[in-house]
Chains A and B, each alone.
Chain A
Amino acid sequence: MPRTLSSGKGASVATTFDRFRTKVLAGVQDPQLRRYAFFVMAAGAGLVPLMAGSAKAALAPGVTDGADTMLMLMGSALVLLMTPGLAFFYGGFTRSKNVLNTMMMSFFLMGLIGVLWVVIGYSLAFDGGFKSPFIGGLGAMWLNGVGGELGDAALAPGFNISATSFALFQGMFAIITPALISGALVERVSFKFWFWFCLLWSLFVYSPMAKMVWGGGFLGPFGSVGAIDFAGGTVVHIASGVAALVAAAMIGSRTTWPNNNKPPHNVPFILLGAGLLWFGWFGFNGASMFAAKTAGLPFLTTTTAASAGMLAWCLIEWFKDGKPTAVGAATGAVAGLVGITPGAGFVYMGPAIAIGALTAAACFIAVRIKAAIKFDDSLDTFMVHGVGGTVGALLAGVFAAKALVPADYFPLSAKILEEGGNVGMFIAQLKAVIFSYAFVGIATAIIVAILNAVIGSRVSPEQEDRGLDFVAHGEEAYDPMTN
């Protein structure tokens, strides 16, 4: 993800916007503009072999920019709002006797991960102390030294946002990622298990993934694979989706699944949650540009893909079942948002629509398959985030535009795109996806197995029947008569 186009690279900014304008507004390929863009691109691309070894040094020293930093602060607030949004999205799906517990599985992480991230999570993801491509270090614990004495120092060469705003923004991602996993496990796991699972998973799966993809590590544009992931297709969505799949398989189904399952208890909650997620996703993807001037593109691709996802899901339902549903509209929008996440800053509008619609279609099929094989990924975390993240990551390779993957910020990825075209990029994406599945799958399995042995993972069938709001928290969301 990390990139900015306002670091004295006027040429690439101009290129981006001219290409953007020609594609979006005109749709006509003005030969002169195309030649202009081509020359700028060629000039940039020509430097790639020379710069490959010392790409970082080529970037101008970062100078903290107010507008860019403001984008990050606004983006952080937006991404934070996604977690209570997710709590409503998931809470609407469950039975009324489990809604508080379901919502707490997301909401509580604003407490737990909010502290954990500042104390050590950020350091494990973005400090360079261990000199490893897989994990950060311990030098930035307590955000020690991040942003200098006043917290206003720029992040790094080529990045004009303050380091503190970056740490904050990344923390919001760290909060929502394990929250996404909860969808697969609701209505049966103990809250104690969930507490320890999230703590360990965040330290040993999330932080390493963030390092590998965004922290100059193994999978990213400065590493060995060269995959591009704008705002978290692998780190957030594949990671949470695969973890959900593995944990749900190990922990097992709810006692009521599949024969005594109940419909969602509050569909308006689902729509509210999806709306908040969509709103927050502007920060998730848009602010991942790290530069205010160029953030318009990922803002546009994000909302366009969500629209396309909703439209596709509803049309499929309409055609297949005869009625478009509210739950389907919400799910399709979220699927579109998941799909565009890895490519939000790397593609133009046509691909954004295609990515949104194709991801929604893939998730639709996945959800139907899950229902058919009776696997209890309760709220379809893998089916939407895992499948959607995978499709989105691969399509980001298929549709990535060269002008949007500048060599100074994405040296290896730009080289792959230059030499192998979108096929090469697709292969790099595929490698990153496979690696993510394997790493997250194995690491999650180990964590679940350990916790299962030490503290257990499930509540008793009697407690499940009583309802987790009362069992885990001693509260009820509504009058118990209505359970």
Chain B
Amino acid sequence: MKMITALVRPSKVDAIKTALVSIEVVGMTVSDVRGFGRQKGQVERYRGNEFTVDFLPKVKITTVVSDDKVDAAIAAIANAARTGEIGDGKIFVTPVETAIRIRTGDSGDAAL
């Protein structure tokens, strides 16, 4: 069981969701986040005052999948999120000990 954390462009969230659902990854959590990587910030100008905005808006998608679906899920996210420009984001994969569905008490892969 692995947790996949993807930091992506906000405009790509819908496409990523559709791609994940199509390979039957049916649960995820999204949050608005800000950050920067190689893209760094952008310069905005208001009434001639220049502002360097260091932290750009991104969306963090978190989902937990069974081991056999990890590669497919990573590929689905990467394909849906890619534009080829700097700022497409990153995917992190971490091991998860277990999972519990609160309503039924199911645990392990059955809870996903």
Contact = CB atoms under 8 A, between A and B. Distances in A.
A325 B46 contact: yes
B45 interface: yes
7 interchain residue pairs of minimum CB distance: A263-B51, A368-B48, A327-B46, A371-B48, A371-B49, A367-B47, A263-B46
A331 B47 contact: yes
B51 A328 contact: no
Interface string A250-273: 000000000001111000000000
A380 interface: yes
A462 interface: no
B48 A261 contact: no
A327 B48 CA distance: 10
Nearest to A384: B47
B51 A380 contact: no
A149 interface: no
B44 interface: yes
A337 B71 CA distance: 61
Contact of B48 (A263, A264, A323, A367): A367
Contacts of B49: 261, 263, 371
Interface of A: 93, 261-264, 321, 323, 325, 327-328, 331, 364, 367-368, 371, 380
Nearest to A328: B47
A325 B46 CA distance: 8
A326 to B, nearest CB: 9
Interface string B69-85: 00000000000000000
Listed residue (B46, B48, B53) with the most chain A CB atoms within 10 angstroms of its CB: B48
Main secondary structure on A side of the interface with B:
helix
Contacts of A261: 49, 51
A380 B47 contact: yes
Contacts, number: 26
A262 B47 contact: no
A380 B46 CA distance: 12
Nearest to B46: A327
B51 A325 contact: no
Nearest to B51: A263
A77 to B, nearest CB: 30
Interface of B: 44-49, 51, 53
Contacts of B48: 364, 367-368, 371
A323 B48 CA distance: 11
A264 B45 contact: no
A398 to B, nearest CB: 27
Nearest to B52: A263
B51 A327 contact: no
A323 B42 CA distance: 15
Contacts of A367: 47-48
A338 to B, nearest CB: 15
Contacts of A325: 45-46
A426 to B, nearest CB: 30
A109 B101 CA distance: 56
Among A263, A327, A364, which residue has the most Cβ atoms of chain B within 10 A? A263
Contacts of A263: 44, 46, 49, 51, 53
A263 B55 CA distance: 13
A321 B47 CA distance: 11
B48 to A, nearest CB: 5
Contacts of B44: 263
A51 to B, nearest CB: 48
Nearest to A331: B47
Nearest to A323: B45
B46 A262 contact: no
A53 B46 CA distance: 53
A367 B51 CA distance: 15
A327 B46 CA distance: 6
Max chain A Cβ within 10 angstroms of own Cβ: one of B46, B47, B48, B53: B47
Contacts of B45: 321, 323, 325
B52 to A, nearest CB: 10
Nearest to A264: B46
Contacts of B51: 261-263
26 contacts: A93-B46, A261-B49, A261-B51, A262-B51, A263-B44, A263-B46, A263-B49, A263-B51, A263-B53, A264-B46, A321-B45, A323-B45, A325-B45, A325-B46, A327-B46, A327-B47, A328-B47, A331-B47, A364-B48, A367-B47, A367-B48, A368-B48, A371-B47, A371-B48, A371-B49, A380-B47
Contacts of A364: 48
A371 B48 CA distance: 7
A64 B82 CA distance: 72
B43 to A, nearest CB: 10
A368 B49 CA distance: 8
A256 B51 CA distance: 13
Contacts of B53: 263
